[in-house]
Amino acid sequence: MKTIQIPINSPFSFQQNIEYLKLASEVCLYEIGDQWIRKAIPTAHAIPIVEITGTSSFVDILFVENKEYSVEVEREVIQYVSEWLDLDNDLQPFYKLAKQDALLSIPIDRFYGLRNVGIPNLFEALCWAVLGQQITLSFAYTLKKRFVETFGTAVTWQGKDYWCFPETDVIAHCTIEQLTALQMTRRKAEYIIGIANEIVEQRLSKEQLLTESFDSAQKILTSIRGVGPWTANYVCMRCLRFPNAFPVGDVGLQNAVKYLLRLEEKPSPSQLHQLGARWKNWQSYATFYLWRTLY
């Protein structure tokens, strides 16, 4: 079995990222143990199962099956894990800024070393955001799990299923009724099938969006039916990794700020913009840490 090690810039805590990932482990896209993550990672020509472990200074990727994978597959896996856990980032500037901040000083201490765990797959990021619109997070997890187990594929290893997110072309060919059967609204079913078609017909791609400015990426995303400002910022934050992505319409973010500042009412989007002005270049990370205080 082969192990690949990725060195990491501090501050980093593998355990903090594990604790975060536990929140969504019911969706079945990975399995979490005490000190490890196991996941099937789809690449162009293979779907290896890896076990990820780590410390404060490195992450190890272990290919657990007794199989040989090409260098290209290994390269894609390293890329995926690095993007997923945001391993190439350096949080020191963020912590320096947050240390003196009334809202962030407590969270960065409590969750020291937590990365903005992302969703590298653009289709998955968009679907997850749409699924989560205007419903409780726990119901959103339920919907995603049904979606994955109905339309995704699983790789089995040692009697355990490791699910992969549904392929875009599979969903592009779904009927609205197939999706509403999972108890999502008809409108969400339309949105998700529409998004799948945008990607399949190559009018939308992560590669293209990454060449755009943050403003331009938001405009492209919000031109898609079902993608408003919240969803666009969510995807910019967790998939495209624009540092100033800032979903100010998010109820969770509004509540986090409300509780931490002991406000009577939830802050409005414009109030959040004013408040977050001091987090320039780290608004995405500030949002992620504020969300983390809620659960």
Closest distance between DNA and the C-beta of residue 236, in Å?
11
Closest distance between DNA and the C-beta of residue 246, in Å?
12
**Token code pair at residue 105:** 């000083």
> What residues contact residue 230 under an 8 Å CB cut-off, 6+ apart?
129, 133, 247, 249, 250
**Token code pair at residue 273:** 């913009």
Question: What is the DSSP code (8-state) at residue 278?
Answer: G
Nearer to DNA, 187 or 241 (CB): 187
Closest distance between DNA and the C-beta of residue 92, in Å?
24
Nearer to DNA, 163 or 291 (CB): 291
Q: What distances in angstroms separate CA 114 from CA 27, 77, 99, one per listed residue?
A: 21, 21, 15
| Residue type present at position 48 | P
Closest distance between DNA and the C-beta of residue 260, in Å?
15
The H-or-E segment that residue 212 falls in is none
Nearer to DNA, 234 or 282 (CB): 234
Instruction: Give the count of beta carbons closer than 10 Å to the beta carbon of residue 113.
Output: 17
Q: How far apart are CA 159 and CA 283, in angstroms?
A: 42
Nearer to DNA, 48 or 276 (CB): 276
Nearer to DNA, 132 or 166 (CB): 132
Nearer to DNA, 61 or 236 (CB): 236
Closest distance between DNA and the C-beta of residue 151, in Å?
18
**Token code pair at residue 190:** 């339309």
Using CB atoms within 10 Å of the CB of residue 207, give its burial: 0 to 12 exposed, 13 to 18 middle, 19+ buried: exposed
Q: In the annotation, is 250 catalytic?
A: yes
Strand ordering across the sheet containing 58-63 = 3-7, 58-63, 49-54, 37-40, 31-32
Closest distance between DNA and the C-beta of residue 144, in Å?
10
Q: What is the DSSP track for 45-99? A: S---EEEEEE-SSEEEEEE-SS----HHHHHHHHHHHHHHTTTT---HHHHHHHH
Interface residue list for DNA (CB under 7 A): 132-140, 142, 183, 185-187, 222, 224-232, 234, 238, 249-252, 255, 291
How much helix, strand and coil, in percent to the nearest 5, is found in the chain? 50, 10, 40
Which residue out of 60, 86, 215, 250 is catalytically annotated? 250
Catalytic annotation, residues: 250
